[in-house]
Amino acid sequence: MRNAEIADLFDLLASLSELDGAVVYKVIAYRKAAERFRSAPESIERMAAEGRLTELADIGGTIAAKVDELLASGTMAALEKLRAVYPDGLVAMMQVPGVGPKTAKRLYSELGVDSTEALKAACEAGHVRELKGLGEKKEAGILEALQAGGGPRKHVILLDHALERAESLVAMLRAEPGCVAAEIAGSLRRRKETIGDVDLVAASDDPAPLLQRFAEHPGVQDVTALGDAKASVVLHDGMQVDLRVIEPAQWGSLLQHFTGSKAHNVALRERARSQGLSLSEHGFAPIAGGDAVPCATEEEVYGQLGLQWIPPELRENQGELEAAANDALPVLVTLAELQGDVHAHSDASDGHATPREMAEAAIARGLSYLTITDHSKAVGMGIGLDADKTVANMKLVQKAAKPLRSKGFYLLTGIEVDIMPGGLLDLPDEVLAELDWVVASAHGRRGQDRDALTASMIAAAEHPSVDVIAHPTGRLLDGREPYDLDVEALIEACARTGTFLEVNANPKRLDLRPEHVRAAIAAGVKICISSDAHHPDGIDVLRYGVDCARRGWATADDIVNTRSWPDLQALRKPTRHFGPGPKMSP
DNA sequence: GCCGTTTTCGGCCCGACTGTTTTCAGTCG
């Protein structure tokens, strides 16, 4: 059973337990467990088989036993018992904004409502307002949420789109007279690959006008909440944005609090409690009672707890507190440290610019090398290169490269060769051996057998001419699921063969995902951050790849393209090592 | 249900907003 499936079942168990009125901490424990399983870098099934589940934080004997039961029988008695009492539709109802466990349960027990469809009908018939404690506004709000299709499925926003919107809103806030500071917070500041909503924070001695201006912004379609300290709006593109405003003396406390993650903050507060302090967005207060002492900077918040300042990308309660306590946080890689890009396309395949134009774009962004890695023929629709065209393109790139060498720039020959089912590559070995750089990747393998796919990827890693395996899981964040791939096994093969793994910086991919970046680094695998650009401006996405790598705890040393092209040679597998200097074309 | 330089039992993170209440519950983040 996959980690995500196990996690989903524990989330379901949590929701049903919540409906059933279980002790809240039990519900929290199930949710925490689900989160641990979802983000685990290795197979939960394997960990269970080896009896190592309780090594994970937040997993105790009881939950470990439930996982064992689940893997042995396909389900859990506790889950089936609850399912017999509460229809699955109640869980979907709880996803509707404004409906929590208490309301869902009453809707079911008092009105017989057992699905979002039935809930909609009950709202339309005016039955919901008849329940004590609910009223017309509540009923209208639920109906509106259901009609907006806003029900269970949460709107997913990609990193690039969210950053663009948020950066412009922050600029607007900063331009307001009463605004002392404004910043992006939440999962966007942590640079998660997908964003549910955007959190902004601001400091001002007079919050009301700032909140009012925010609510009146032309991009706002709907104001869903407007109080003395915060406002929530929905933009015309459906993006929800929350703004919280606080006095400047509390800025550090506020920014820290609203950057999250929730799990990170809970862990911080537990740490605060062990010092007799209560931590909130207002600062530190004695548990015994008394006023909160605010922090003006985030460094003060962490410093009070005996911790190094923790970069937002690491704030997921995945060991960063322990590292910060021991002064052992990694120095994360930065965009400025990238010296080259090793995955880009030209108009020889499905790109939209010549190799020369792509090189000029790389130079304009301060890079000193670029590999042109067009598709091989297997990608279909005639866009890929066969052996003859690959050789011809190589000559073309070499010709374009010559005048650039005097500027200190390496324009390099390469290919993105397809890994075929069975593990063979889509071009002859002697052609691959001629190229400066070989990216291997699989396309269109969704639905293929996990073992067969994994075996073919491992075979590619073992190929003497393959430098890097690109976007290995094939995931697309706008909806398409990743391939069913044993990433751990691929990481092991890359470590064994000296093959690099790619973080594809395209905001729709960001593949490897951060958990796997971290696991790969731990296994000794080096990483490439690559744009996969198909036009000159496409190189700009490198920033998102850096964000993703940072979430995977990557330092500059872990990333091969923080080296110059000559220095990078020392890291390549022996069969790709061209000697002391760069391989120079004849 | 988890966990232990306060505890193997008794704690467990904190506050804002809305709607429905005339003092608060439910929901959300």
CATH number of residue A67's parent domain: 1.10.150.110
pLDDT for the residue numbered A302: 94
Domain boundary among A147, A180, A208: A147
Same domain, A389 and A449: yes
Q: Is the pLDDT of residue A578 over 90?
A: no
Same domain, A143 and A163: no
Contact A156, A477 (CB under 8 A): yes
The CA–C1' separation of A274 and B3, in angstroms, is 13
Q: Which residue is nearest to nucleotide B15 (CA to C1')?
A: A280
The CA–C1' separation of A283 and B15, in angstroms, is 12
Angle between helices A3-19 and A24-39 (to 10 degrees): 170
pLDDT for the residue numbered A579: 42
The CA–C1' separation of A51 and B5, in angstroms, is 29
- Is residue A138 included in any domain, yes or no? yes
Give alpha helix (H) positions in A88-247: 89-94, 101-111, 116-124, 136-147, 159-174, 186-189, 207-215
Give the least confident one: A162-171, A440-449, A450-459, A512-521: A440-449
Q: Is the pLDDT of residue A155 over 60?
A: no
Mean pLDDT for A428-441 is 95
Q: Which nucleotide is nearest to A276 (CA to C1')?
A: B6
- Is residue A132 included in any domain, yes or no? yes
The CA–C1' separation of A288 and B20, in angstroms, is 33
Domain of A56 in residue numbering reads as 3-147
Mean pLDDT for A252-275 is 90
Q: Which residue is nearest to nucleotide B4 (CA to C1')?
A: A274
- Is residue A252 included in any domain, yes or no? no
Q: Which nucleotides of B are covered by protein (CB under 7 A)?
A: 1-3, 5-6, 11-21, 25-29
Region for A443 from its dihedrals, namely left if φ exceeds 0, alpha if ψ lies in -120 to 50, beta otherwise:
beta
The CA–C1' separation of A136 and B22, in angstroms, is 19
pLDDT for the residue numbered A392: 94
Q: Is the pLDDT of residue A189 over 70?
A: yes
Reduced to 3 states (helix: H, G, I; strand: E, B; else coil), residue A177 is coil
Pairing of strands A230-235, A240-246: antiparallel
DSSP 3-state percent helix, strand, coil across chain A (nearest 5): 50, 15, 35
Q: Is the pLDDT of residue A25 over 90?
A: no
Closest CA to A542 of A320, A293, A402, A334: A334
Q: Which residue is nearest to nucleotide B5 (CA to C1')?
A: A274
- Is residue A185 included in any domain, yes or no? yes
- Is residue A81 included in any domain, yes or no? yes
The CA–C1' separation of A355 and B20, in angstroms, is 66
Q: Which residue is nearest to nucleotide B29 (CA to C1')?
A: A262
pLDDT for the residue numbered A185: 95
| Structure tokens that stand for A20 in this block | 């059933």
Same domain, A417 and A553: yes
Angle CA(A566)–CA(A364)–CA(A374) in degrees, nearest 5?
65
Instruction: Give the whole-angstrom CA distance, residue A77 versus residue A82.
Output: 9
Mean pLDDT for A124-150 is 82
Same domain, A287 and A211: no
pLDDT in tens, A378-432: 876 678 899 999 999 999 999 999 999 999 999 999 999 999 988 999 999 999 9
Q: Is the pLDDT of residue A510 over 90?
A: yes
Q: Which nucleotide is nearest to A266 (CA to C1')?
A: B13
Same domain, A447 and A557: yes
Domain boundary among A213, A246, A279: A246
Same domain, A94 and A185: no
Residue at A401: amino acid letter: A
**Which CATH number goes with the domain that contains A270?**
3.30.210.10
Same domain, A278 and A179: no
| Structure tokens that stand for A556 in this block | 């500059």
**Which CATH number goes with the domain that contains A376?**
3.20.20.140
Q: How many domains does chain A have?
A: 4
Region for A398 from its dihedrals, namely left if φ exceeds 0, alpha if ψ lies in -120 to 50, beta otherwise:
alpha
Q: Which residue is nearest to nucleotide B21 (CA to C1')?
A: A133
Same domain, A561 and A444: yes
Q: Is the pLDDT of residue A266 over 50?
A: yes
Q: Is the pLDDT of residue A26 over 50?
A: yes
Reduced to 3 states (helix: H, G, I; strand: E, B; else coil), residue A404 is helix
Q: What's chain A's average pLDDT?
A: 89
- Is residue A127 included in any domain, yes or no? yes
**Which CATH number goes with the domain that contains A196?**
3.30.460.10
The listed range with the strongest mean pLDDT (A127-131, A225-229, A338-342) is A338-342
Reduced to 3 states (helix: H, G, I; strand: E, B; else coil), residue A122 is helix
Residue A281: band (very low, low, confident or very high) from pLDDT cuts 50, 70, 90: confident
Same domain, A219 and A340: no
Same domain, A224 and A274: no
Residue A222: band (very low, low, confident or very high) from pLDDT cuts 50, 70, 90: confident
Same domain, A239 and A341: no
Domain boundary among A122, A147, A172: A147
- Is residue A231 included in any domain, yes or no? yes
Closest CA to A6 of A54, A63, A86: A63
Same domain, A441 and A556: yes
How many helical (H) and strand (E) elements, i.e. helices and strands, does chain A have? 24, 16
- Residues 6 or more apart whose Cβ sits within 8 Å of residue A489: A454, A458
CA A475 to chain centre: 12
- Is residue A586 included in any domain, yes or no? no
Residue A228: band (very low, low, confident or very high) from pLDDT cuts 50, 70, 90: confident
The CA–C1' separation of A477 and B29, in angstroms, is 24
